[in-house]
Structures are given as structure tokens and as C-alpha cells.
């Protein structure tokens, strides 16, 4: 995951996933509350939701800032996704600062309905968002 500050309010996330074991399937990706990948990602706790919105599909009427969504992996297990938004920040004291959060790849598909998780399956990948 690479974040780029585009202007004073817009940030772009460029995400690349490679998982041959999940070729030709969807995986769900979410930001989680803590940058702690211990215990197979459970240390990251729940979805990051600073605005206390319902879980849902990115860009729909109801979704929270940590809902990145489902990503389709190709027949080699490769996928890319880019998201540009003003819902995130890398400014230290901003309430929507993503630095230090966990980013989790789930082994299932987000149904965009089940609250608050989307019923996305086990945590199969975990990383911590850091400022470079």
C-alpha cells in the first residue's frame, strides 16, 4: 500500500495484492483501528471508523472511512486498486489520520451489509500504515 498526498485535501491509496493461493477470487480490504498485526492480525482490532458511520460499500450512501472494499485477484493472484479521497489524512493531529492504523486483507468477500464487519472472513494479511 502506497499513499500519495495529491493536494491539501486529497490522498490516493495505490494498493497491490499478490496471493497465488487466492487466484481468481475476491478479497476484502479494510483499515483497522490499530497498527498491530499480532495474533494473525487480531491485534488490529475492529474496522477504523472515526465518523461512526455504518459499514458499507465505498462510495455508497453509507460506508465508513475504513471500508476499502472487495478486490478481484486475477488468475495469478494479482490485483491493484486505487482510491482517491479526502476522508483520510497523514497530518499528525487530524481525526482522520491513517498513519499507525492496520490494513487488513480478509480471506472472504465483503457483503457490504453485515454490521460492522461485512462478514469478510479471516484475516489473511496485515500491515501497518507508516509515514516515510
Residues annotated as catalytic (active site), given as ranges: 30, 32, 47, 55, 64, 67, 106, 123
User: In terms of C-beta distances under 8 Å and separation of at least 24 residues, what long-range contacts does 67-70 make, across chains too?
Assistant: 67/30, 67/110, 67/112, 67/118, 68/13, 68/15, 68/28, 68/29, 68/30, 68/31, 68/103, 69/28, 69/29, 69/110, 69/112, 70/26, 70/27, 70/28, 70/29, 70/109, 70/110
Amino acid at each position: 500500500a502506497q499513499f500519495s498526498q495529491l493536494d491539501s485535501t486529497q490522498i490516493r491509496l495505490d494498493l497491490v495484492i499478490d496471493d497465488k493461493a487466492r487466484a481468481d477470487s475476491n478479497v476484502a480490504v479494510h483499515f483497522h483501528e490499530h497498527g498491530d498485526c499480532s495474533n494473525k492480525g487480531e491485534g488490529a482490532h475492529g474496522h477504523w471508523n472515526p465518523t461512526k458511520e455504518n459499514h458499507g460499500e465505498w462510495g455508497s450512501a453509507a460506508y465508513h472511512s475504513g471500508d476499502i472494499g472487495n478486490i478481484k485477484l486475477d488468475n495469478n493472484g494479482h490485483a491493484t486498486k486505487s482510491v482517491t479521497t479526502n476522508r483520510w489524512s497523514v497530518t499528525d493531529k487530524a481525526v482522520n489520520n491513517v498513519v499507525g492504523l492496520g490494513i487488513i486483507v480478509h480471506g472472504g468477500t465483503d457483503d457490504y451489509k453485515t454490521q460492522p464487519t461485512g462478514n469478510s472472513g479471516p484475516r489473511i494479511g496485515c500491515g501497518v500504515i507508516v509515514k516515510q
